[in-house]
Amino acid sequence: MESANFLQRFGMIILEYWKFTLPLTILIILYYHFTSTFNFFKKRGIDYLEPTVVIGNMGANIIGKQAFHDFQREIYNRFKKTGYGGVFLGRQPVLYITDPELIKAVTIRDFENFVDRYSLPSNEPLYFKRNLLNLKSGEWKGVRSIITPSFSSLRLKHMLHLIKNCSDQMVGLLNQFDNSEIEMKETMGRFTLEVIGACAFGIKSDSLTDENARFVKVAEKYDHLPWPKRIGLFFILMFIPEALRFINISFLHYETIDQLVKMLKKTKAERKLSNTKHNDFLQLLLDAAEKEREEVGNTLSPIHLDDDTIDAQSLLFFIAGYETSSTLLSCAIFLMAVKPEFQDKLRAHVEEMTKDKEVTYDVLSQLDYLEAFLLETLRMYPPIARIDRVCTKPYTLPGTSVKINVDEMIAVPLYGVHMDPDHYPEPEQFKPERFIRDGKLEKPSHLFLAFGAGPRNCIGLRFAMISAKHAMVTVLKNFKFSTCPKTEYPIRIEETAPFFKSKAGLWVKVERL
């Protein structure tokens, strides 16, 4: 009886003070939800950064006080001695590895345990979901094996004339700025758009001759995210990440991507109607898809290159190619302007190697010092700051007792590796020669990570380097670059940008030779 009276009185108190108890209960539940993973590393005996409720260790990045690149370097230095450590992205625990042997094991030697990349479980269109970055395990292997021949030396040789046309148009654009100031990221972005339009989409974009060209107007907004969408995306990621499975949401500008896909589909339809063949990436995909359908025939084997998968790879070519190549070229030209001694050496190297020769694929492949210059540019200014892998089979980190379970994520702070004086002495100094050993071009496969590492590295690596080399040869033969009043060096990284971006822009003065 007394017990019943107590419960009755307690219930009346709850009802009377519900305006206080309900919010308190909700806060307690939310607090438990956002901190329930915070003992993840402690239970395993792993050193970790102390997290903050809701934001984990991402506070400085979220409010724009620290660039993501600098955050990755900070993480690397924090865990360099131990070789690994824990970081919380919101409430999600991520194991970072910094030891060279662990990086090599995860990305190369024991790759079968880390086949997948991390991707948001968003309910996106298939032309997002089915690109090589998002495909998992068996599907990824199937698509990658079919696409890989598209980036062979022979294929790139046949595609070189498209890159040459774009380089020639770039000369015309730069001529308009003779003896004046120019921002190189935007300019090289237009060159990259022209190359991608020609080589990936089969479209003559006119981005170098007409700044109002439709492809330019559409493509230049691909990563634009209005603040309301940024806030909404952050809210979902922090509070209800499970809802992503039912929502079509992306870090990219959906309307822009949708228009690019429509342009791509139109190009494919026109080719089918006219039955014409082109020497570009889109044609290689279409031919590979046709060959796959013939080989599969009436068997029960799955078709890897369906229409959505073709669209997804072309779109990936655009996104990954644009950011990587425009960043590489703009930073390389900027460095020539602020370090004229390297510009003079590069120009002499190019003139010597290409004298009385057509700039062919084989000639470009022989430009070792130019390639070392570009690799050093990527070491100091990599477009991305981190690479990640998702565990697909139970794994124990070599030399430790740390167990990694299926679906747990491992990350490598790429920018920290690139700026480690033990791997690259005087990392703040620009030294192309560090990639040339005994007169030969050389780079460590797991300590130079601008294009990733191991079987899941960037499939377009050779294409990116060949197109960048051709562009550099062209500008070196036609122009001289120097500093101007707007030039700001050292480069400060924009705090709010997900990729590498100069806060003040990459301004130089251009002069016709």
Asked if the structure places residue 14 within a domain, the reply is no
User: What's the total number of domains in the chain?
Assistant: 1
Asked if the structure places residue 485 within a domain, the reply is yes
Residues 97, 49: Cα–Cα separation, whole Å: 14
Mean pLDDT of 65-94: 96
Percent of the chain topping pLDDT 70? 84
Angle between helices 137-147 and 307-338 (to 10 degrees): 70
119: exposed, middle or buried (C-beta count within 10 Å: 0-12, 13-18, 19+)? Answer: middle
- Report strand pairing: 92-97 vs 409-412: parallel
Asked if the structure places residue 16 within a domain, the reply is no
Residues 495, 58: Cα–Cα separation, whole Å: 12
Query: What's the first-to-final CA gap in the chain, in angstroms?
Result: 101
Q: Whose CA is closest to 96, among 117, 69, 77? A: 77
Summarised one tens digit per residue, pLDDT across range 20-54 is 667 777 788 777 878 899 999 999 999 999 999 98
Q: Which domain holds residue 260?
A: 37-512
Asked if the structure places residue 299 within a domain, the reply is yes
Residues 53, 56: Cα–Cα separation, whole Å: 6
On the question of pLDDT at 207 being above 60, the answer is no
Residues 90, 33: Cα–Cα separation, whole Å: 11
On the question of pLDDT at 415 being above 90, the answer is yes
Asked if the structure places residue 4 within a domain, the reply is no
DSSP string, 34-74: HHTTTTHHHHHT--BPPPBTTTBT-HHHHTTSS-HHHHHHH
Look up residue 459 and give its two tokens.
């499939």
Please tell me which residue, 127 or 77, carries the higher pLDDT value. Answer: 77
DSSP string, 112-168: GG--BPP-------HHHHTSTTT--HHHHHHHHHHHGGGGSHHHHHHHHHHHHHHHH
Asked if the structure places residue 26 within a domain, the reply is no
The confidence band for 231, taking pLDDT boundaries of 50, 70 and 90, is low
Asked if the structure places residue 7 within a domain, the reply is no
The confidence band for 452, taking pLDDT boundaries of 50, 70 and 90, is very high
Asked if the structure places residue 134 within a domain, the reply is yes
Which residue matches tokens 């590498």? Answer: 500
What CATH number does residue 413 fall under? 1.10.630.10
